Structure 1
Amino acid sequence: MNMSMGLQLHTRKGDEAVHPKICVPLMGKNREALQDEWKQLRKKTVDLLEWRVDYFEKNRDVDLIIDIAEEIHRETTRPLLFTKRSEAEGGQAVSLNEDEVVQLYEAVIASAAVHGIDIELRQSEKNTQHLIEQARNQEIDVILSHHNFTETPPAQRLEEKIREAVDLGADVAKIAVMPQSKTDVLTLLQVTEKMSRTIPIPLISMAMGVNGMISRLAGGVFGSALTFASGAQASAPGQIPVADVEQVLRILNRNM
């Protein structure tokens, strides 16, 4: 079974704004809760779904996880991004060690039941390269991501993280930061505007929290290819309900 054509995100072209796609996280603790989440989204303008498997209680049951991933795609027809976020980068505490996380990703990739996977840049380079190679064989996109829930690092540091993702072979680069001021949000947007012009892959960026909300709505103007909106619950501070994001993007896209 191979149903993947990747996440189908857009790389920026010159000065053009990107019309960002909308992704809603699925965070159910069990199969029934997940089913409720995606059924509520059927009439929403949602382009992608992200399964945050760190919220899933049976995260050691690989066969069950693959079965549910196949069901999500079958029932929604939307590309599915598979993410096990670490506690250090805003995820839920799980009992899986690094080797077990890699084995879970290997199994999910081999099943071709998803369209993309998110790997944190903190993961060892050896494991990252291995998973990228496996994903490429299945035409599954790899997002290499960096999340800072404490602060907004200087622009140079953010640019280094984006280049690191490119150099490692990511299909998509992602950075998320926590602004302490509106100036921090401007730093994130300036980095997005600069780097989205220069890297050869799509870039996802966001500033979290209340200060950063504007980056989730207008990020595409600066070159961000994807925005995360909340469905049943938010997976990160400052996420806006999908209906509100849909309305704002419709206005922006129509007038750009």
Structure 2
Amino acid sequence: MPKIRQVEIKSCRLETYSSKICVPLPAQNLPELLSVAQKLKELTPDLIEWRADYFSASDPKEIIAALEKLRAVIGDLPLIFTYRDYAEGGFVNLNLELRAAIIESVLKTGLIDLVDLEWQTKVQVREQLLQVARENKVSVILSYHDFQQTPANESIINILKAQQEAGADLAKIAVMPQQRYDVLRFMETVLYFNTHYAEIPVVAISMSPLGMISRMAGSLFGSAITFAVYGKESAPGQIPIEKLRPLLNLMSSP
């Protein structure tokens, strides 16, 4: 069995068989962003993800100004910055050059702890952003999404291996089940990867209500982060944080 390293983000330790709760923040304007952020802080999730692709501004300076205010509200809560590509479930359809410029500018601020980069981004752009993240001590989640199906077991393992070899701090894979068997097969395949190949923590999600069990059972098959919802969901099948927390506590009990 390989030794899987942990990722330390402020007071949050991300490790394979202990799911931490992250709540996405998909606000469309600054008042909403700060209002929801204040409420999220009171709910004390382990991490917050700012889904900046929902934000009305696409100018890097405006996004950084909003980020400064967001950080002032949430204090030391670990923060993931995500500007999701439209093809992978993002809210707006920006060209790659502008998206990359936004992400690179944010990486240099010192205001975020993790960044989510899509695995299927053009390799040259992805590698450049990985390098900027390293230079600015920002941990990297390389993420793969399939909103149509659950890939074959071998494909799932190969994707996670490739993300790991590319230099990710965490490898994320989110897939869509078409039947109950897909959910069980996916969790078993991720467990197999964790047992035989993993050197970094995995974030693994079977989406939609059908895959909801994967959001609760990360401590069983090995998913370091699970995404809850407060208000507006940013992906199908997310569970409200107030319902998810007791379920995770129950699942992780000896």
User: Which amino acid letter does the alignment assign opposite residue 190 of structure 2?
Assistant: T
Unaligned runs of 5+ in 2: 1-7
Aligned to 2:5: none
Matched residue pairs, number? 244
Q: Does 1:116 align with 2:114?
A: yes
Instruction: Write the deviation string for residues 135-161 of structure 1: whole angstroms up to 9, x where unpaired.
Output: 111110111110111111111111111
Aligned-residue CA RMSD in angstroms? 1.4
On the 8 A contact 1:231/1:241 being kept in 2, the answer is yes
Aligned to 1:191: 189
Q: Does 1:238 align with 2:242?
A: no
Deviation (angstroms), 1:163: 1.0
Write the mapping of 1:200-239 to structure 2, written as runs, cut at 5 A: 200-239=199-238
User: Which amino acid letter does the alignment assign opposite residue 247 of structure 2?
Assistant: V
Aligned to 2:45: 46
Selected match of 2:163 from 149, 165, 176: 165
User: Which amino acid letter does the alignment assign opposite residue 36 of structure 2?
Assistant: E
Deviation (angstroms), 1:177: 0.5
Change (3 A) 1:30 1:10: same
Deviation (angstroms), 1:71: 2.4
User: Which amino acid letter does the alignment assign opposite residue 235 of structure 1?
Assistant: S
Instruction: Write the deviation string for residues 201-246 of structure 1: whole angstroms up to 9, x where unpaired.
Output: 1100010111100000112211100000001211111000010111
Q: Distance in 2 between matches of 1:45 and 1:245?
A: 13
Unaligned runs of 5+ in 1: 13-17
**Sequence identity percentage:** 36
Q: Distance in 2 between matches of 1:25 and 1:230?
A: 7
On the 8 A contact 1:26/1:52 being kept in 2, the answer is yes
On the 8 A contact 1:144/1:173 being kept in 2, the answer is yes
Aligned to 1:105: 103
Write the mapping of 1:1-256 to structure 2, written as runs, cut at 5 A: 6=9, 8-12=12-16, 18-59=17-58, 61-76=59-74, 77-94=76-93, 96-197=94-195, 198-253=197-252, 255-256=253-254
On the 8 A contact 2:18/2:218 being kept in 1, the answer is no
